[in-house]
């Protein structure tokens, strides 16, 4: 900790110096921008003021000398620690005069009694804390659940229990492959064996480290344990085929051919009986079964495919816990909002893979072509070589044989309104779509659509529209490009009552150069609140409270500059996550800023990784995020983690620029103490204010 702070000094000075130079460059380029509005300008940090430089980074931690009282704020009693190697533990001793050790490690106690340590996770899951202050002593045991260690090295051929994948219900298109894998004894040969005795090789791909080696990285003086035989991952591809596991607890795919033949058990019973009397060839449905399969069945093995691993003379078998279906003809489904109170703002959320960020947002009744399933997710075909994954429970399947949606685009038309311009794309069906942005442009792709557009008129329609055009870049994708004369402020995309796709382009507000916030509506979101007390610091100051204190100080600053403020969480009471961006959108707020302070996931070293960051989602919010990041760095001089794109609900509204700030880390004692300090809360609020003002000033320059 001490080393980190020593290194910070010179680095910080360099940072300030660089910022001063940047200010001069920005001043020059801003002037140029006014003359040449077409130029794409580089991002500009908020100009640094002389008084900022004089302000020390964070105030020193105040001294506190209460009675010795050990408190661990994290991890909680009985909590699950997801890191196996090292993790953080933080809390308070009650006194800045205390000394502390945890599991034999000496831990620095801060002047207010707080501590933060990053130490090996105890194998028995018990942190033993010993504190001392002169003659006083205190001790505390904190019990947590730690990850299961990697099992001891296998003896002979062994398939690690629970390691065979995939598990559950899968459906794939005919001709696709499915990857099968498992963990087993290193140095073997393995196959997937189908009930029809087809064998597909599964290749050893990589050795898995033994747990002793990982732990040794953090324990000085412990020699790595040499690896004597161990576990490896085996994997291979198997062509699409119907497989039905004997495990009746597994999900069965909802789409595709799931092998609706004879009950596996009764078929096997019949064939086994026929085999026993030498009449296997005559028994209906039994000809395809191999004698091996039947032998395996008689020994009590499952009917489905199984893994076979051979190491030396030893063989291990394990069943494949998979129900696999083949989709020969794609299924059609429609998006449904299953909430008790369906909302017009409902969107099913699609991803590029079964996990990862949300990428697509489609309203109820959108028609989807389903070409795959993985347990609770459906795969949707959007275009050749473009698919998305959506939650299956929000899709209602139409009867088999329903033809896939093939929307004919009959016309595209702009309609100008005082606050927005609608681009309406008439279609015979409710098709999925995707909106992408450039600084001054919007592109709308409608999937499954074929154009019958002959006319597309927009000339002299509206001063906001510079140019518009449509194209059919590939089969079943209809694309409209709209170039604006100003940077994108926001938009909505939805289906109207006829099923047409509407892209509603928001008209930017008219900004007064001298009073850029006058008349603007700013949505300020204090993150978390109520029962969602979020993260805490070592002395149990909550993030929700810190966020609220900053938000409440920001509000009067914005109002004094002529803005109206919408507080999405005005007090301690909880406000539902999804309701917050909706409030900002419904009230036509001009920007949304969500105020947070950060926490690390288990296993990350908080001493090396803490700092300030800001997140946005849509390109039209990048400049807001840049201004916030620059202003917060200029104000507090914490480490620059950077601004970046993140899939966060508060950053996702499309109708307005939105960004989420993570000023400091609750668990770092210096930063928690600073967040408690009203003067620092005021400085953080002021930095937010300056960034929002700078954002409007820059947008005014672009008008």
Applying CB under 5 A, which residues contact Zn ion? 527, 596
Show the CA angle centred on residue 271, arms to residues 247 and 262, nearest 5°: 55
Helix orientation angle between 543-560 and 678-701, rounded to the nearest 10 degrees: 50
Tell how far CA 293 is from the center of its chain: 44
Considering beta carbons, is residue 517 or 599 the nearer one to Zn ion?
A: 599
Closest CA to 359 of 27, 652, 659, 678: 652
Structure token digits, residue 658: 């939105």
CB of 144 or CB of 646, closer to Zn ion: 646
Determine the residue with CB nearest Zn ion. Answer: 596
Taking the least distance from each CB to Zn ion, the nearer of 412 and 666 is 666
Name all contacts of 291-299 with Cβ < 8 Å and 24+ positions apart: 292/193, 292/197, 293/195, 293/196, 293/197, 294/268, 297/268, 297/272, 298/272
Q: Judged by CB, which is closer to Zn ion: 443, or 533?
A: 533
- Closer Cβ to Zn ion, 195 or 527, answer by number: 527
CB of 540 to Zn ion, least distance (A): 16
Question: What are the distances in angstroms from CA 301 to CA 120, 180, 195, 391?
Answer: 43, 19, 11, 34
Location of structure tokens 């898995």: 208
**Which of 693, 688, 616 has the alpha carbon at shortest distance from 650?**
616
Q: Which residues pair with 661 in a beta bridge?
A: 595, 614
Report the residue number, 596 or 639, with the smaller CB distance to Zn ion. Answer: 596
* Structure token pair of residue 664: 């400091």
The minimum distance between CB 527 and Zn ion, in angstroms, equals 4
Handedness of CA 72, 76, 78, 84 (dihedral sign): negative
Residue nearer to Zn ion on the CB measure, 184 or 527:
527
* Smallest separation (angstroms) from Zn ion to the CB of 534: 5
625, two tokens:
């995020």
CB of 544 to Zn ion, least distance (A): 8
CB-wise, 482 or 666, nearer to Zn ion?
666
Bridge-based pairing of strands 564-567 and 521-526 is parallel
Cβ proximity to Zn ion, 131 vs 554, nearer residue:
554
Nearer to Zn ion among residue 595 and residue 633 (C-beta): 595
DSSP 135: T
The distance of closest approach from Cβ of residue 353 to Zn ion in the complex, given in angstroms and rounded to an integer, is 26
The 3-class secondary structure across 52-92, one letter per residue, is HHHCCCCCCCCCCECCCCCEEEECCCCCECCCCCEEEEEEE
Q: Residue 439, SS3? A: coil
Q: CB of residue 347 vs Zn ion: minimum separation in angstroms?
A: 23
If the CB atoms of residues 476 and 597 are measured against Zn ion, the closer one turns out to be 597
391-396 contacts at long range (C-beta below 8 A, 24 or more positions apart): 391/348, 391/349, 392/254, 393/338, 394/335, 394/336, 394/337, 394/338, 394/348, 395/333, 395/334, 395/335, 395/336, 395/348, 395/368, 395/370, 396/333, 396/334, 396/336
Q: How many residues does the chain have?
A: 703
Which one, of 157, 166, 164, lies nearest residue 186 by Cα?
157
């Amino acid at each position: 900790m001490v080393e980190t702070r020593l290194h910070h000094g010179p680095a910080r000075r360099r940072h300030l110096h660089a910022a001063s130079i940047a200010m001069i460059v920005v001043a020059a380029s801003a002037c140029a921008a006014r003359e040449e509005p077409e130029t794409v300008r580089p991002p500009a940090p908020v100009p640094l003021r002389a008084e900022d430089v004089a302000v020390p980074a964070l105030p020193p931690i105040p001294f506190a000398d209460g009675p010795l009282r050990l408190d661990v704020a994290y991890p909680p009693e009985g909590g699950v620690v997801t890191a196996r190697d090292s993790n953080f533990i933080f809390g308070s001793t009650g006194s800045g005069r205390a000394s502390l050790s945890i599991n034999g490690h000496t831990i620095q106690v801060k002047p207010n009694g707080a501590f933060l340590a990053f130490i090996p996770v105890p194998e028995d899951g018990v942190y033993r804390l010993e504190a001392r202050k002169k003659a006083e002593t205190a001790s505390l045991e904190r019990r947590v659940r730690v990850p299961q260690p990697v099992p001891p090295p296998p003896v002979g051929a062994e398939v690690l229990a629970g390691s065979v994948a995939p598990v559950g219900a899968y459906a794939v298109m005919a001709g696709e492959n499915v990857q099968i894998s498992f963990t087993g004894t290193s140095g073997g040969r393995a196959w997937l064996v189908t009930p029809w005795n087809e064998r597909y090789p599964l290749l050893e791909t990589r050795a898995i480290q033994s747990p002793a080696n990982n732990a040794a990285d953090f324990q000085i003086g412990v020699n790595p344990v040499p690896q004597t035989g161990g576990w490896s991952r085996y994997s291979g591809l198997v062509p699409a085929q119907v497989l039905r596991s004997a495990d009746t607890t597994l999900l069965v795919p909802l789409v595709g051919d799931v092998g609706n033949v004879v009950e596996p058990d009764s078929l096997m019973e019949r064939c086994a009986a026929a085999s026993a009397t030498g009449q296997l060839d005559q028994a209906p449905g039994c000809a395809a079964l191999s004698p091996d399969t039947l032998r395996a069945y008689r020994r009590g093995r499952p009917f489905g495919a199984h893994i076979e691993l051979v190491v030396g003379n030893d063989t291990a078998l394990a069943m494949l816990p998979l129900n696999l279906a083949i989709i020969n003809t794609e299924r059609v489904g429609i998006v449904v909002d299953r909430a008790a109170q369906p909302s017009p703002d409902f969107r099913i959320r699609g991803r590029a893979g079964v996990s990862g960020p949300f990428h697509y947002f489609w309203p109820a009744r959108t028609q989807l072509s389903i070409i795959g399933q993985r347990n609770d997710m459906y795969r949707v075909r959007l275009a050749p070589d473009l698919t998305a994954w959506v939650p299956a429970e929000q899709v209602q399947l139409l009867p088999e044989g329903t033809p896939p949606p093939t929307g004919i685009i009959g016309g595209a038309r702009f309609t100008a309104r005082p606050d927005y311009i609608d681009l309406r794309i008439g279609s015979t069906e409710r098709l999925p779509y995707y909106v992408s942005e450039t600084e001054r442009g919007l592109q709308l792709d409608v999937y499954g659509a074929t154009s019958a557009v002959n006319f597309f008129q927009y000339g002299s329609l509206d001063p906001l529209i510079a140019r518009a055009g449509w194209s059919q870049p590939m089969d079943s994708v209809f694309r409209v490009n709209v170039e604006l004369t100003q940077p994108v402020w926001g938009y909505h995309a939805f289906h109207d009552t006829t099923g047409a796709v509407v892209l509603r382009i928001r008209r930017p507000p008219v900004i007064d150069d001298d009073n850029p916030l006058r008349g603007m509506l700013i949505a300020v979101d204090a993150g978390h609140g109520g029962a969602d007390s979020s993260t805490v610091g070592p002395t149990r100051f909550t993030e929700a409270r810190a966020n609220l204190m900053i938000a409440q100080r920001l509000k009067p600053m914005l109002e004094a500059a002529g803005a109206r403020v919408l507080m999405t969480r005005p007090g301690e009471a909880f406000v539902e996550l999804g309701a917050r961006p909706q409030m900002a959108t419904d009230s036509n707020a001009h920007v949304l800023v969500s105020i947070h302070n950060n926490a690390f996931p288990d296993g990350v070293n908080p001493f090396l990784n803490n700092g300030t960051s800001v997140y946005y989602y849509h390109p039209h919010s990048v400049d807001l995020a840049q201004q916030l990041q620059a202003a917060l760095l200029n104000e507090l001089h914490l480490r620059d983690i950077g601004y970046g794109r993140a899939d966060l609900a508060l950053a996702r509204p499309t109708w307005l620029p939105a960004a989420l700030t993570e000023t400091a880390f609750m668990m770092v004692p210096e930063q928690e103490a600073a967040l408690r300090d009203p003067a620092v809360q005021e400085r953080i609020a002021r930095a937010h204010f300056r960034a929002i003002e700078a954002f409007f000033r820059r947008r005014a320059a672009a008008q």
